[in-house]
A and B are shown apart, each in its own frame.
Chain A
Amino acid sequence: MVSGACPACGALVLVGEAFCEQCGHALGVAGCTACGAPAVGADGYCENCGMLQPSERDHVEIELEVAAGVSDRGLRHSRNEDAMALTAVGTAADTMAVGVVCDGVSTSLRPEEASQTAADTAVAALAQQLGEGADPETATREAVRLAAEAVFALAEQDEDAPACTYVSAVAGGRQVTVGWVGDSRAYWLGSGSEVLTGDDATPGTHMLTAWLGADAGEVVPHIRTFTPDGPGVVLLCSDGLWNYHSDPAALAAVALNATPRAAAQRLVRLALEAGGHDNITVLVIPFGPGDQSEATAVFPKEQS
């Protein structure tokens, strides 16, 4: 389940692809990752040794020109209940990067569906709203509303409703707009690194006080617009990262001076090395007023 070369033509094939994009070669289902038996059932369990197979979501990387994201199962959970989505809106000259990170609530049922649904719904709504000219705050409010509705609709009777957190960022022009529900965070890393969000959780615990889900009541997102005074990086992450590394300056030291993808990979690796107790999701969105084509963000100090 890793990216590699097509056995027929040698072209690069990506995680989760069933056919080679280049030559159409069927990549086939690999054997069980635990015992090698070619007998993995449709439900993901090996029919020989019983092991649950890694899913496509165990490790996901997204790379766009404007930003990148990495999501990883971690070392202690059997599946990745985090989800992320990333897109770019606008023209080449005037691009806005839009990112969403959602963390499924483990104590709810099917949290991985909740997070994926919320992230997909929100990023589509943001793209549409911004494309139609809505301001980022209005677009964010609408995206949260639609994502909350979609997660609400996942609930079936007589079960704990699927639930997840939400954090999004719209970075473009001279401003960054973040919106959040729950304890996934947005950071500004650069000149004056800081946490942009305030966790919806009982202080000192992971007890959420707000989330998306049928049992959440009315969802009112926090929305904040921020004007950086120099280039830097907007970091969106689940608590799988900030549980280990929450200090903005320390995160900046790792995330800056790298391509977005490399920065996201480094941050995830950092959390894995610290124990990887939870799922880890990191979105890195470079922000450089007036210089959108510069994909590598650098310390303002070094720029001067």
Chain B
Amino acid sequence: MTDFTMRVDQNKYLPAGGEEVHAIVTVEASGPIERAPTVEAAEIIIVDTSGSMSYDKIAEARKAARAAIDTLRDGVYFAVVAGNHEAQIIFPDRAGLVPATPESRNAAREAVSRLVAEGGTAMGRWLRRAADLFSDYQQAYPGAIKHAILLTDGKNEHERAPEFAANLAYCTGKFVCDCRGVGVDWVVAELRQIASTLLGSVMDIRRPEDLEADFRAMTQAAMGKTVADVALRLWTPRAAKLNFVKQVSPTLEDLTGRRTEVDALTGDYPTGAWGGESREYHINVRVPAGNVGQEMRAGLVRLVLPESGEVLAKGNILAQWSDDPVQSTRINPRVAHYTGQQELASLIQEGLQARTDGDLDTATARLGKARGIAEKAGNEETAKLLDKVIEVDPDTGTARLRRDVDKADEIALDTRSVRTVRMRKDPEA
């Protein structure tokens, strides 16, 4: 069984009259080193087969899908969905998911090799088809890991926004979906919306030939998950206002709006499936000020299995009022670090949007500032990507937008803006 630990980093001391409590909650799950062969799991591979996938992209997508199929461990239930303006289950050829065996893998590989690129793009319909497959499976195997991979190369053109939204809402909570965009014609915001809703990741795949390795790695990661449907359960005092709950590592994800009420003071936030990994959350609560010397529990954080109510780990967020400014003015380094990471992501996203909108002053200011933060905080990959979009004079510090920017670099910068780095030096370690 996976062991969970939780740690809360914060400066609990508030000045007299202080109300804002910030804490970083680190959750670590020590999964098995090997794969988790005892855990029930299902995997659906969704491949974009729209017309734009022609030539090398569809060829590499076939290879990638085969790599994913090969990486499934025996007994994992799976299917392959081909998506264009419709969704077609190309494997298995009968209803429902089938367990992976040497024979079923061969049959699936065979089906994948017959994929052809034609038609439009309607990702919501692909996902809905996957959700139905998972729902049937869920009946027989409650508590199993349900994971999908979605690959696309284009914009969601053949599905109106309301239908897409409805399809996405239909899928919410039914499975976790990691999304991959290949090439430069897909829209980061669309895949981010899917991945956010379905608690997965988004990555840009610049070259089609990189798909195969990525699919293998993604499937391996999915096979390493051991606990499905974990929730972060947060209690806050009656008079408190919960400002936000955000995942801040490994990626930024605002969970505030994802609350399911448990009781008047408690809500659950979905975190999806866990393997051996560590994630961090930034919680901000506003509490009514207490007297100097008083201590308050501003939040009780528990990691739970909502179905059974089993508590996997828990921690306290505290507030204590102090008239010692040395205590109350100290900023917890981890809170500071992740506050900076959130600012960095916002600057990049706003800067890129301004650039697209032709507001070059704003774009230059935002991206230039982002470059400085990236350097200081240790976001080396982000700094490198920013350098492809903006030039900063090392002597004067003056920033200037580059004239010719590779679209793939812009997509990479946008996609990866939500990936955070951990603190360089852990003062607690």
Q: Which residues of A contact B (CB under 8 A)?
A: 34-35, 45-52, 73-79
B295–A52 contact, CB under 8 A?
yes
B322 at the interface (CB under 8 A from A): yes
* 10 A–B contacts, CB within 8 A, in A order: A45-B296, A45-B316, A46-B297, A47-B235, A50-B236, A51-B290, A51-B295, A51-B297, A52-B294, A76-B293
For A78, list chain B residues within 8 Å (CB): 293-295, 320
Cα separation A34 to B295 with both chains bound (whole Å): 11
- Contacts known (A45-B297, A76-B323, A78-B320); A50 close to B292, Cβ less than 8 A: no
B122 at the interface (CB under 8 A from A): no
A50–B293 contact, CB under 8 A?
no
For B265, list chain A residues within 8 Å (CB): 47-48
Of the listed stretches B50-58, B237-245, B276-284, chain A binds: B237-245
Known contacts A45-B316, A51-B296, A76-B323, then 10 further A-B pairs from the complex at CB < 8 Å, ordered by chain A residue: A45-B296, A47-B235, A48-B265, A50-B236, A52-B296, A52-B297, A76-B293, A78-B295, A78-B320, A79-B295
B294–A76 contact, CB under 8 A?
no
Q: Please pick, from A34, A50, A74, the residue contacting B298 in the complex, using a CB distance under 8 A.
A: A50
B287–A77 contact, CB under 8 A?
no
In the complex, how many angstroms separate the beta carbon of A39 from the nearest chain B beta carbon?
10
For the complex, count residues of B whose C-beta is within 8 A of A: 23
Q: Which residues of B contact A (CB under 8 A)?
A: 235-240, 265, 287, 290, 292-298, 300, 316, 319-320, 322-324
A51–B294 contact, CB under 8 A?
yes
Q: Please pick, from A45, A48, A73, A76, the residue contacting B238 in the complex, using a CB distance under 8 A.
A: A48
For B294, list chain A residues within 8 Å (CB): 34, 51-52, 78
A76–B298 contact, CB under 8 A?
no
Cα separation A47 to B239 with both chains bound (whole Å): 12
Q: Please pick, from B239, B293, B323, the residue contacting A49 in the complex, using a CB distance under 8 A.
A: B239
Q: Which residue of B lies closest to A75 (CB)?
A: B293
A50–B323 contact, CB under 8 A?
no
- Contacts known (A48-B238, A50-B237); A76 close to B296, Cβ less than 8 A: no
In the complex, how many angstroms separate the beta carbon of B241 from the nearest chain A beta carbon?
13
For B316, list chain A residues within 8 Å (CB): 45
Lowest 6 A-B CB distances belong to which pairs? A50-B237, A52-B295, A78-B295, A45-B297, A50-B297, A50-B296
In the complex, how many angstroms separate the beta carbon of A43 from the nearest chain B beta carbon?
8
